[in-house]
Amino acid sequence: MATLDVINLEKQKVGTIDLSDAVYAAPVDEHLFYEVVKAQLASRRAGTQAVKNRSLVSGGGKKPYRQKGTGRARQGSIRASQWVGGGKAMGPKPRDHEYHVPKKVRKAAIRAAISKRNADKALVIVDQWSPAKPSTKEAVNTFAKLGIESALVLGMKDNENLFKSVRNAKSYKFLPIEGANVYDILKHQTLVLTRDSAKALEGVLA
C-alpha cells in the first residue's frame, strides 16, 4: 500500500491515506502513454474533409470538341481534373480516424499516468472540496494557496459546484473520475484528488 499525505484547502496536513500500489505506484511505461494518447486524439478528428471528383462536378457531359483533326490534345470532358473548374483527382474523402486500444491497456495507461504524477510529487490529495456555491474566483484563490499553477481535478460526479467553479479557470480542469484519461493527466502539471475520489478511483482501476 502507498501512504500519501492528505491536506486541507489551506495546505495544512490533516492526515494520511493508504492507497493501492497497483494504482498509485504502478510501473511507468511511456509507450502506453503514446498508444493511448494517440487513440484519444485520433478519435477527436472529424474526418469530414472532402473534395469533388469529376463524377461529382456538374456539367461537362458533352465532349468539348472532336477527337481528331484539331491539332489539340484529345479531351473527353471539360470537368476532367486538368481543366479549370474540373474535379479533383484522388482528393481526400470522408474517413474515420478512430484508433482503438484494448480496455485493459487504457486502464494500465491511466494507472501509469497517476503513478507518474505521484512519483513526480505532483499528486495532491485534499481532505474535502465541496463549495457551497459555484465560484471561479474562490477556486483560483484555492489553487493559489496550494501553490498549483496548472491542475486536473478528478472529483465525484455529483460535485457540481466544484465542476462549475473550475471549468472557467484558465489552466485548470475538472473531470469526474469516470472521465479520467491519460491525455488530461499528463497535460496538467498537477493532479488533484479529494479523499473520496482517490478511493473511488482506486476501486475503478485496481
Do 17 and 64 belong together in one domain?
A: no
Tell me which of 91, 120, 149 is where a domain ends.
91
- What percentage of residues in the chain have a pLDDT greater than 70? 100
Domain containing residue 59 = 51-91
Q: Are 3 and 20 in contact (CB under 8 A)?
A: no
State residue 25's pLDDT score.
92
Q: How confident is the model at residue 83 (pLDDT cuts 50, 70, 90)?
A: very high
Instruction: Say whether pLDDT at 61 is over 90.
Output: no
* pLDDT tier, 1 (very low <50, low <70, confident <90, very high otherwise): confident
The CA-based angle 180-183-186, given to 5 degrees, is 95
* pLDDT at residue number 136: 96
Instruction: Name the average pLDDT for the chain.
Output: 94
From 68-72, 97-101, 111-115, the region with the lowest mean pLDDT: 97-101
Can you give the pLDDT at residue 2?
A: 84
Domain-terminating residue out of 91, 108, 123 = 91
Over residues 2-8, mean pLDDT: 93
Residues 103 and 178 in one domain: yes
**Are residues 106 and 138 located together in one domain of the fold?**
yes
On whether both 127 and 164 belong to a single domain, the answer is yes
Q: Domain of 193: which CATH number?
A: 3.40.1370.10
pLDDT of residue 177: 94
Which residues face 13 on adjacent strands? 7
Within its chain, how far is the Cα of 59 from the centroid?
44
42 and 55 assigned to the same domain? no
Q: Specify whether the CB–CB gap between 132 and 158 falls below 8 A.
A: no
Q: What is the mean pLDDT of residues 123-133?
A: 95
Cβ atoms within 10 A of the Cβ of 126, count?
A: 21
- Compute the average pLDDT of residues 172-187: 96
- Same domain (yes/no): 142, 194: yes
3-state secondary structure 90-120: CCCCCCCCCCCCCHHHHHHHHHHHHHHHHHC
23 shares its domain with 111? yes
**Total domains, the chain:** 2
What does the pLDDT read at residue 60?
A: 86
My answer on whether 104 and 161 are in the same domain is yes
Per-residue model confidence as pLDDT tens digits over 131-169: 999 999 999 999 999 999 999 999 999 999 999 999 999
Name the pLDDT band for 34 (thresholds 50, 70, 90).
very high
Residue listed under C-alpha cell 490534345: 73
Q: Based on the domain organization, do 77 and 155 belong to the same domain?
A: no
Do 121 and 164 have their domain in common?
yes
Q: What is the pLDDT of residue 112?
A: 96
Final residue belonging to a domain, choices 91, 121, 145: 91
Q: The C-alpha cell of 113 is what? A: 499516468
Same domain, 60 and 8: no
Q: Specify whether 66 is located in the same domain as 167.
A: no
Q: Is residue 115 within 8 Å of residue 19, measured between CB atoms?
A: no
The residue with cell 471539360 is: 78
Using H for helix, E for strand and C for coil, what is the string for the chain?
CEEEEEECCCCCEEEEEEECHHHHCCCCCHHHHHHHHHHHHHHHCCCCCCCCCCCCCCCCCCCCCCCCCCCCCCCCCCCCCCCCCCCCCCCCCCCCCCCCCCHHHHHHHHHHHHHHHHHCCCEEEECCCCCCCCCHHHHHHHHHHHCCCCEEEEECCCCHHHHHHHCCCCCEEEEEHHHCCHHHHHHCCEEEEEHHHHHHHHHHHC
